[in-house]
Amino acid sequence: MQGFRLIFTRYFLAGLIIFLPLVILGIFFRWLFHTLTDLIQPFTNLVIKLSGFPELAGDVVVILLILISVALTGYLVTTSAGIYLHNRFDATLNRLAPGYQMIKEIVNQFVGDKASSPFAGGSIARVKLFGEQVETTVTAIITSRHDDGTLTVFVPTGPNPTSGFIYHIPEHLAEIRPDIKVEAAMKTVISCGAGSAKLFAPAPPDTSNSAPHGAHLSSSGHTPLEKRENVDSPDQN
């Protein structure tokens, strides 16, 4: 009986690991859908009144109209007239809502142009915050490079990577890892460091200038095959 209980518990936990993420994901999407439909309820009521659609169909129509409107707005702000109107709109909101610019910059950092967003295209580094003599390092994102050679880095805190600390350090304190993607580093921050051993494994060597596979150079500068051909070939003299 004891063995059956242990086996059942082990299999139950294995099944729970599979199903629990799906349940949590379903709960999240259900909450997101109800939150969104509550926000668009006035527009849904208008669509239902004009078309006679059921409520679910009305929600879908309104969501599609919102997505199309967002895409059209994105297209319009790429035109000369759209840029002018957008600048006027931004200036007006900055006067009426002082926090608008800050919120806009935060959004741009996460979903804006990759060239200007350190979270989308920044470099990952292991930084010795306490000096070269101390082996302790932290995971950091390089957010800015200064003319004097120093770096500005953002050190996220776990499990919420959107909060953290900003440091200005000399470049020699940072071990820059261009082979590591920001998304992969953020996963280790969210998991409170789990997976860091694999993340910070030594970078693979650059083999672009190496000899072909199996063609190792000897001390004379020839591959073993070339050396053997030189030995076997008859003397031309």
Report pLDDT digits (tens) over 135-175: 999 999 998 899 999 999 999 988 888 789 999 999 999 99
Mean pLDDT of all residues in 33-37: 91
Mean pLDDT of all residues in 112-122: 60
What is the spatial distance between Cα 122 and Cα 109, in angstroms, rounded to a whole number? 11
Q: Are residues 99 and 159 in the same domain?
A: no
User: Which residue, among 64, 73, 74, 28, has the nearest Cα to 43 in the 3D structure?
Assistant: 64
Torsion sign (Cα): 193, 197, 198, 202: positive
Which structural domain, as residue segments, surrounds residue 98? 80-111
Q: How many domains does the chain have?
A: 2
Give the per-residue pLDDT at 119. Answer: 62
What is the spatial distance between Cα 212 and Cα 226, in angstroms, rounded to a whole number? 13
88 domain-assigned:
yes
Mean pLDDT of all residues in 35-60: 91
222 domain-assigned:
no
Mean pLDDT of all residues in 41-70: 92
Q: Which residue has the higher pLDDT, 63 or 216?
A: 63
Give the per-residue pLDDT at 43. Answer: 93
The conformation of residue 177, written as its DSSP 8-state character, comes to: E
Give the per-residue pLDDT at 167. Answer: 95
Q: Does the pLDDT of residue 231 top 80, yes or no?
A: no
Rounded mean pLDDT of the chain?
82
Q: Are residues 95 and 125 in the same domain?
A: no
SS3 174: strand
SS3 212: coil
What is the spatial distance between Cα 75 and Cα 78, in angstroms, rounded to a whole number? 6
Would you place residue 183 in the very low, low, confident or very high pLDDT band (cuts 50, 70, 90)?
confident
Q: From 91, 111, 131, give the residue that closes a domain.
A: 111
Tokens of residue 46, six digits? 């208008």
Q: Are residues 103 and 124 in the same domain?
A: no
Q: Are residues 107 and 124 in the same domain?
A: no
Cβ contacts of 66 within 8 Å, gap of 6 or more = 40
Give the per-residue pLDDT at 112. Answer: 60
Q: Which residue has the higher pLDDT, 4 or 50?
A: 50
Question: Given its phi and psi angles, is residue 73 left (phi above 0), alpha (psi -120 to 50 degrees) or beta?
Answer: alpha
Would you place residue 75 in the very low, low, confident or very high pLDDT band (cuts 50, 70, 90)?
very high
Q: What's 29-67 look like in SS3?
A: HHHHHHHHHHHCHHHHHHHHHHHCCCHHHHHHHHHHHHH
**Number of other residues whose CB lies within 10 A of the CB of residue 118:** 17
Give the per-residue pLDDT at 39. Answer: 93
Q: At what angle do helices 41-51 and 55-76 cross, to 10 degrees?
A: 110
Q: pLDDT exceeding 90 applies to what percent of the chain? A: 44
Would you place residue 68 in the very low, low, confident or very high pLDDT band (cuts 50, 70, 90)?
very high
Would you place residue 45 in the very low, low, confident or very high pLDDT band (cuts 50, 70, 90)?
very high
Q: From 66, 93, 111, give the residue that closes a domain.
A: 111
141 beta partners: 124, 154
123-127: strand order across its sheet: 164-170, 150-156, 138-145, 123-127, 174-177
Q: Does the pLDDT of residue 130 top 50, yes or no?
A: yes
Min mean pLDDT across 14-23, 91-100, 214-223 is at: 214-223
Q: Are residues 128 and 158 in the same domain?
A: yes
Tokens of residue 169, six digits? 């350090």
**Number of other residues whose CB lies within 10 A of the CB of residue 121:** 12
